Amino acid sequence: MWQLLQIELYKIFRRPRTYIAFVAVAVLITIMQFGLKVDGQEYADFMLQSLGNFDVQGKLLNGYMVCYIVLQLMLVHVPLLVTLISADLISGEANIGTLRLLMAKPYSRTSIVVSKFCAVCVYTLLLLIWVAFLALFVSVVIFGKSDLFLMKNEYIVLIRQDDVFWRYGCAFCFAFVALITVASVGFFLSAFAENSIGPIVTTMSVIILFTVLGTLNLPVFQAISPYLFTTHMVTWKEFFDEKVNANNEALAGTLQNLPHIIHSVIILLIYIVVLVSATVWVMKKKDILS
């Protein structure tokens, strides 16, 4: 199994396509950071205008804030980049004709499929570490550190700077689970196709469809919304909300809604387990005709 995982990782990281995602992430984040560096103050001022009768003092546009802005936008795009790899894993090999060679080797199909999935997890983890490095560390270097000031829909959350880092740590771990869920969808669809375009496009369509269904405020869609994985992918933001005491003082080191986070993680894990098991089952039953 370890041998297979090494081989799968070797294949992934010897492919030029793999690095497109890393380059794309770097370019996107750098552009955002550049924009915020140049015009960020105006952006912050604009934001504060709405807080007309409040006086906000301090470095609003600091590294932590920039990371939050970047993550909000990136976590829409990174799933698409993960899909590029995960949805290609089986179908891509079917397409170039190596799947039949692979499946005729003395390893069980289950171990081959599972090792491929593990390789996607490693790839996703590395991509996320890359995102974290650029969005968090580089932003902190460029913009400095300060408290994290967030305007939610209904309230403002001010998180002390010494209380922020662990939240990002947790948020990235959560994002990892969310991205693996997307990867599982692509991976599952990949088992049915003999070229990678189909599953990649289908996965992206599923993400878009689920997102739209989850956003539409119609009773029929709201009934299914709690079961859509896209609904739970944004729960990482819960790490950036704190509990308050009776005097409305925010309590550092607390999470406003831990059960919500746990609930989302469980739903996402169910998706992952079901999809990966289904992929293994499909591949075990499948006649390799490619």
Partner 1 sequence: MHCAFNKFYRMKKFVLILFITHCSLFIHAQDATALINKVKAKLDKVNDYTATGVLKTDVAFIKAPVSKVVVYFKKPNHFRLQKNGGISVLPKGGISVNMGTIISTNNFTALDAGETNINNTKTKVVKLLPNDENSDVVLSTLYIDEANLLIKKAVTTTRDNGTYEVVLSYGKYADYALPDKVQFSFNAKDYKLPKGVTLDFDDSQPADKEKLKNKKGKVEIDYASYIINKGVDDKVFE
Partner 2 sequence: MQQVVQVTNLSKHYKNIKAVDALSFTVNEGDVYGFLGQNGAGKSTTIRMLLTLIEPTQGDIKMFGLKLNQHRKTILQSVGAIIEKPDVYKYLSAYNNLNLFARMSGIHPTEKKLMQQLEMVGLKERAHDTVKTFSQGMKQRLGIAIALIHDPRLIILDEPTNGLDPQGIADVRNLILHLSREMKKTLVVSSHLLNEMEQVATRLLIIDKGKKLVEGTTAELFDPAQTLLELDSLNNTEALLLLQNSAWQTALQPQRSNSLLLKIHRNAIPNLHVWLVQQNIKIVSLQSRHSLEDYFLQVTSSGQHVAAFTN
> How many CB atoms lie under 10 A from the CB of residue 212?
11
Q: Does 208 bind partner 1 (CB under 8 A)?
A: no
Cβ(263)–Cβ(208) below 8 Å: no
CA distance 122 to 116: 10
Q: Which of 70, 102, 189, 207 binds partner 2 (CB under 8 A)?
A: 102
Cβ(68)–Cβ(237) below 8 Å: no
Pairing type for strands 148-151 and 156-159 reads antiparallel
Question: Looking at 12-20, 85-93, 97-105, 156-164, which segment touches partner 1 (CB under 8 A)?
Answer: 156-164
CA distance 268 to 177: 7
Show the binding pattern over residues 238-277: x = contacts partner 1 (CB under 8 A), - = does not: ---xxxx--xxxxxx---x---------------------
CA distance 284 to 189: 15
Q: Which of 31, 56, 101, 208 binds partner 2 (CB under 8 A)?
A: 101
Q: Does 100 bind partner 2 (CB under 8 A)?
A: yes
Residues forming beta bridges with residue 158, ordered by sequence position: 149
Q: Choose among 228, 241, 215, 239: nearest CA to 267.
A: 228
Give, as ranges, the residues between 202 and 221 that touch partner 2 (CB under 8 A): none
What is the closest distance, in whole angstroms, from the C-beta atom of residue 283 to partner 2 in the complex?
12
CA distances from 160 to 138, 148, 157, 232, 241 (A): 20, 7, 10, 26, 11
Nearer to partner 2, 10 or 166 (CB): 10
Q: Does 93 bind partner 1 (CB under 8 A)?
A: no
Instruction: Report how far apart the first and last C-alpha atoms of the chain are (Å, whole number).
Output: 24
Give, as ranges, the residues between 31 and 70 that touch partner 1 (CB under 8 A): 46-47, 49-60, 68-69
Could you say which of partner 1, partner 2, none residue 197 binds, taking C-beta under 5 to 8 angstroms by partner kind? Answer: none
Q: Does 166 bind partner 1 (CB under 8 A)?
A: no
142 CB burial (10 A radius; 0-12, 13-18, 19+): middle
Could you say which of partner 2, partner 1, none residue 288 binds, taking C-beta under 5 to 8 angstroms by partner kind? Answer: partner 2
Nearer to partner 1, 1 or 51 (CB): 51
> How many CB atoms lie under 10 A from the CB of residue 210?
19
Nearer to partner 1, 154 or 287 (CB): 154
Q: Does 11 bind partner 1 (CB under 8 A)?
A: no
Question: Strand, helix or coil at 159?
Answer: strand
What is the closest distance, in whole angstroms, from the C-beta atom of residue 98 to partner 2 in the complex?
5
Q: Which of 1, 3, 129, 215 binds partner 2 (CB under 8 A)?
A: 3
Nearer to partner 2, 13 or 46 (CB): 13
Largest CA distance in the chain: 71
CA distance 203 to 26: 23
Give, as ranges, the residues between 222 and 241 that touch partner 1 (CB under 8 A): 234, 237, 241
Q: Does 140 bind partner 1 (CB under 8 A)?
A: no
Nearer to partner 1, 57 or 287 (CB): 57
Position 11, amino acid: K
Binding site for partner 2 (CB under 8 A): 3-4, 6-7, 10-11, 14-16, 96-98, 100-108, 285, 287-289
